[in-house]
Chain A
Amino acid sequence: MSTQVTATCPGCSCLCDDIEVVIEESEIREVGNACRKGASLFLNADHPAYDLDAAIDEAIEILKNAKSPAIFGLDNTTIEAQRIAIKISEKLGCMIEDYSSIRYGDLLNLVVSSRIKTCTLDDVRDRADISIFWGSDAMSSQPRHLSRFSYFPRGEHKQKGWEFDRYAISIDIYRSPTAKVCREFLKVSPGQDPALMDEILGILSGKPPGSKELLKFSNEIKKADFGVIFAGSGLIHGLNRDMDKLIWFMEGLNEYGEFYLIPMVKGYNMRGFVEMMERAQKRIEGSFLRALLDGGIDAALIVGADPMSDLPYSLSKKLLDIQTIVIDPRDTPTTEIADLVIHTGIAGVDNGGSAMRMDGVEFELVPCIERDTPSDEAVLTRILEGL
């Protein structure tokens, strides 16, 4: 006999909450409404059996014996697990960091502290006239973003959808899958994003445009009552991490209409980690990467991250010299080199918890199958207790 449940997908920071999962004999048989990544995530949730008690004891031992441990990752785990990880860092008096500042500079802190105006994806669906994908490729990283929120849907005040009510543009250094779907594509040379911002605000204030494309784009900005920039890591690189320039540009746009920015974060709960650190009044002290490079860490607790695949080799090779504990549902190059691997369940599939969408809206992740695979939260709680 099969049952059908509606689940929330932790495949990316859209946290799609309309996933239809068909379960038969405690196995997921079919997945509906999900993107390619979401479907793969639900259909491949399978974990090897191992001695959990022994693994947790070993993790506690490694952390107790370490002189300068650090905690890293945490963008792909639940809010509950992030809170416990923060407590472990306090207990150990050690560094804790995710990828947010590495990939997006100070952008998330500026958004969370309201120095850059932001809105929810529901506001976007209901009101946005113009969606600007700047250095972000939603079609590859958050595949249902355009269909659920930013371009195709009919929102409360946008009943005519993308055909008449909405304009979408991709600004990038290459024609990405998102650029192919958007109405317009504006190619920017690497590092020329600040100059493009100058030119756009210049045209809006009456200066002659450098191209027809820019004139058209500027006219769309002028017409818009409500616009959103979906900022990706490409924009942060293009600005050479100059957040003052971005703040200046956003203020300039807001002279012509309501303009907001939503960071297109990659980890499904990166926004959650930044918010949890803010709520715990905890600032990231030092840099995990710098400490790794300088030999300032002798043990790393890595949760839901794969630094061997995400960091340049000059940094990741340093992980081979220190004790590493990896908590992750899957096998990765980092689990391959780890001293200790603790395989956990996937939130929203095997385990429960909550997470924050890219726009800061919190969602509950309800497990859709019953398995005895431990959650990140359960493993971290036991490690905290053991310490």
Chain B
Amino acid sequence: MAGISRLIQAPEYEIKILIISDIFQSAESCRGRISREYQDLSAVVYLDKEDMKAWSIKDGMNVTLFNENGKIVVTGRSSKEEHRGIGLMPPSIYSMRLASFDETSGAIPLMIEARIRRGDGEVTGIRELCKKI
């Protein structure tokens, strides 16, 4: 059954997620980090236009990002810049769901390797991400 559902899912692609600061999200965080407005500015990945075309992702479409650390559904947005194969995400509980901890250096990565596919339901809620899996 799992094999069949995998076959009918949208195709997956490799993507690198770069965590970048966003002044709009940062300004919204002054009102707290639980609100719908903060969620809208955090649960987002900015994608290269050519990548979007190649992956059949339209601006504003929900996308699933996942790797061995976790899975999130966020909104895919068209980036004004060219960065093939790289998605830009603001720092938040969303990007941190995919990040891994480098135990040797003690660092938190700015670049995360993940996979992306179209759709997969509603954007993951912040409170949902606060729960333990």
Apart from A310-B108, A336-B126, what 12 extra A-B contacts exist at CB < 8 Å?
Answer: A36-B24, A40-B27, A140-B23, A174-B20, A174-B88, A237-B109, A290-B106, A293-B101, A312-B101, A313-B96, A316-B93, A330-B32
CB-CB under 8 A from B24, the residues of chain A are 36
Q: Which 9 A-B pairs have the closest CB atoms?
A: A140-B21, A312-B99, A40-B30, A40-B27, A331-B32, A332-B33, A41-B30, A330-B32, A37-B27
A interface, over-half SS = helix
Partner of A237, one of B21, B70, B110, B132: B110
Question: Is A272 on the interface with B (CB-CB < 8 A)?
Answer: no
Chain B interfacial residues counted at CB < 8 A: 43
Question: Is A158 on the interface with B (CB-CB < 8 A)?
Answer: no
Partner of B106, one of A35, A174, A289: A289
Contact assessment for A143 and B23 in the assembled complex, using a CB-CB cutoff below 8 Å: yes
With known contacts A173-B18, A313-B97, A308–B130 Cβ distance under 8 A? yes
Q: How far is the CA of A364 from the CA of B105 in the complex (A)?
A: 36
Partner of B105, one of A44, A241, A311, A315: A241
Q: What per-residue 1/0 map shows which CB atoms of B80-107 lie under 8 Å from chain A? A: 0101001010011100110111010111
Contact assessment for B27 and A141 in the assembled complex, using a CB-CB cutoff below 8 Å: no
B111 CB to closest chain A CB, in angstroms? 6
Nearest B residue (CB) for A176: B20
CB-CB under 8 A from A289, the residues of chain B are 101, 106
CB-CB under 8 A from B127, the residues of chain A are 336
User: Which segment of A100-108, A148-156, A196-204, A218-226 sits at the interface?
Assistant: A100-108
With known contacts A309-B96, A311-B108, A314-B69, A141–B26 Cβ distance under 8 A? yes
Contact assessment for A312 and B86 in the assembled complex, using a CB-CB cutoff below 8 Å: no
Interface hits, A158-202 → B, CB 8 Å: 173-177, 190
Question: Is B22 on the interface with A (CB-CB < 8 A)?
Answer: yes
Contact assessment for A312 and B30 in the assembled complex, using a CB-CB cutoff below 8 Å: no
Chain A interfacial residues counted at CB < 8 A: 51
B67 CB to closest chain A CB, in angstroms? 11
Nearest A residue (CB) for B127: A336
Question: Is A386 on the interface with B (CB-CB < 8 A)?
Answer: no
Question: Is A317 on the interface with B (CB-CB < 8 A)?
Answer: yes
CB-CB under 8 A from A312, the residues of chain B are 69, 96, 99-101, 108
Question: Is A337 on the interface with B (CB-CB < 8 A)?
Answer: yes
Contact assessment for A313 and B30 in the assembled complex, using a CB-CB cutoff below 8 Å: no
Contact assessment for B92 and A309 in the assembled complex, using a CB-CB cutoff below 8 Å: yes
Query: Can you list 18 contacts pairing A with B, beta carbon distance less than 8 Å?
Result: A40-B27, A41-B30, A140-B20, A173-B111, A174-B88, A177-B23, A240-B105, A289-B106, A290-B103, A293-B101, A308-B96, A310-B96, A310-B108, A311-B101, A317-B132, A330-B29, A332-B34, A333-B129
Q: How far is the CA of A174 from the CA of B100 in the complex (A)?
A: 22
Nearest B residue (CB) for A241: B105
With known contacts A44-B30, A234-B110, A333-B93, A320–B132 Cβ distance under 8 A? yes
Question: Is A137 on the interface with B (CB-CB < 8 A)?
Answer: yes
Nearest B residue (CB) for A289: B106
Contact assessment for B109 and A140 in the assembled complex, using a CB-CB cutoff below 8 Å: no
Q: How far is the CA of A252 from the CA of B27 in the complex (A)?
A: 39
Q: How far is the CA of A237 from the CA of B105 in the complex (A)?
A: 10
Contact assessment for A333 and B109 in the assembled complex, using a CB-CB cutoff below 8 Å: no
Question: Is B31 on the interface with A (CB-CB < 8 A)?
Answer: yes
Nearest B residue (CB) for A101: B106
Q: How far is the CA of A105 from the CA of B93 in the complex (A)?
A: 22
With known contacts A36-B23, A174-B83, A293-B101, A102–B108 Cβ distance under 8 A? yes
CB-CB under 8 A from A33, the residues of chain B are none
